[in-house]
Amino acid sequence: MWKLAAIVVIIRLGLLVTHPGYVGVDGGAYLLQARQYLGLSLPQQLDFVRAPLGPGWLLVPFVVLMGNDIGYSVWEAIFSTVPILPAFYLLATRFVSPRAALVATVFLAVDMWQWEMVITGALPLIGIGLIFLCLWGLVGVTSGRPTLREKLAVVLSIGLIPYINQTSTGLAAVAIPVFLLSLCVLNKSPKALRSAFPYLASGALIAVGALPWYRDVLPGSAKLSFPGPMVYMQPFNSPGWIQVWFAVPFGLWVAWRSSNTKLKALAITMVVHSLLTLFSSYDESIINIFFRSMHLVSPLLVLMVAWTAVRLVPYLTKYGVAFMASLLFILLVIGSGYVFQKQAFYSDMITPEMDRARGFIPDGDTKTIVTNGFMTGLWLAALEGTPTVWTFSANPPPAFQAQYKETQCLLGWREDCNPWAAADRLNAEYVLIDMRFPHITSREPNLWGAPEDTWAPTLAAPWLDLVYTDGTVRLWRVKRDA
């Protein structure tokens, strides 16, 4: 299993390091937090407040030793693999043989949902890995005479998750109670909950210390809650619906056919999280629990398929088993490669063109940079060490409403304002835009309040002086002498 994990890390590292530009969506937020821990000071908090290991001090050593680009890539390769693959393997050994668990882990290593997270950001995968470790411990704790390792797995997983990732904390708040309550219902006894309670409570006491880092991410937050419905159903062509067609029937079938109540409870947990993916929200705190449930479901689906396959093997020839397994593996490798490339393209916030453009911004300039998106803004803030403001694809949260009006004015999207006054109020000196956005895919909406031809007013703005152009990237400086 550890050899497998090492191979996966090496493959992911090779892809990340050789990818042109900086990789991913959340990497800017991760790097900004690490640089702030290393002494970077900005006049305002751009991102929501993150927990100290989110990634914070987990990333700092990599940045110090290897620099921003390579350091982040190495960190991402390692932490998108560990602890989730080892933790999944441990959990799988509860229900299938070690050999079958290893085969299942091989298939998880090429799971398309996991490879999406290699690009978008590893933090939720760390948290999900700890959830699996907790579930492994709970299986032992609720079976009577638990070992010290099983007790510690529950206590430390529950205690650590809130210090690492807020989204995973929300996922754990669903998965752990559903698993335990399902056990109680299936066994017609509260014994499982009573057995687990001392270790869950001990973990919760550790977790309470993380509460100060959650003030920005509570539902209704002024930074993360967009005007719109708190909960609504996803369209039928969403990834959640695609996963549901596989996960729910498989989960219900395993819950019906298995005689192992803990596997039944795990199948029910998978079904519940799968159904959560059908919903969405205009509140980032809520939508992340719905959306990231997909990445909790896919490993559990692999486990359910492995358990089913073990029971089908006696009815197939060894050649039939090898052919089916090889075909599925090849399809998943192709699918994961496709997902990696496409997700990297959609998530390229700092392309080589953007990186060259920011080289024209003088070192030590402390003025605000206006850019075309939140994640691009965090990348630029981390790399340049300056404040940023950005555009929105939806009506902004309350905390950004006034700022966004000034941004729209500076970009030429409003006629009832003074762009030089807007630049002064934003303390803005440069506008750095990648015009691939927002129409990088046909599904992406136009930016909020932008004209149909999004960047035409900005390109023609007489108060902006074009400093650099490269492909779809434009860098302007505000003409202060106008």
List, as one string, the DSSP characters of 334-382: HHHHHHHHHHHHHH-SB-HHHHHHHTTSPTT--SEEEES-HHHHHHHHH
Q: Does residue 55 have a cis peptide bond before it, meaning omega lies within 30 degrees of 0?
A: yes
pLDDT band at 45 (very low <50, low <70, confident <90, very high): confident
pLDDT at 236: 80
**pLDDT at residue 176 above 70?**
yes
pLDDT at 240: 78
Cβ atoms of 435 and 471 within 8 Å: the answer is no
**pLDDT at residue 482 above 60?**
no
Taking residues 389-401, what's their average pLDDT? 95
Task: Give the pTM.
Answer: 0.95
Q: Computed from CA positions of residues 132, 135, 140, 143, in that sequence, does the dihedral angle turn out positive or negative? A: negative
Taking residues 247-269, what's their average pLDDT? 95
Taking residues 291-311, what's their average pLDDT? 94
**pLDDT at residue 465 above 70?**
yes
Taking residues 373-389, what's their average pLDDT? 95
**pLDDT at residue 116 above 90?**
yes
Mean residue pLDDT across the chain: 94
pLDDT band at 481 (very low <50, low <70, confident <90, very high): low
Share of the chain above pLDDT 70, in %: 99
Closest to 179 in 3D by CA, of 90, 95, 94, 272? 272
pLDDT band at 119 (very low <50, low <70, confident <90, very high): very high
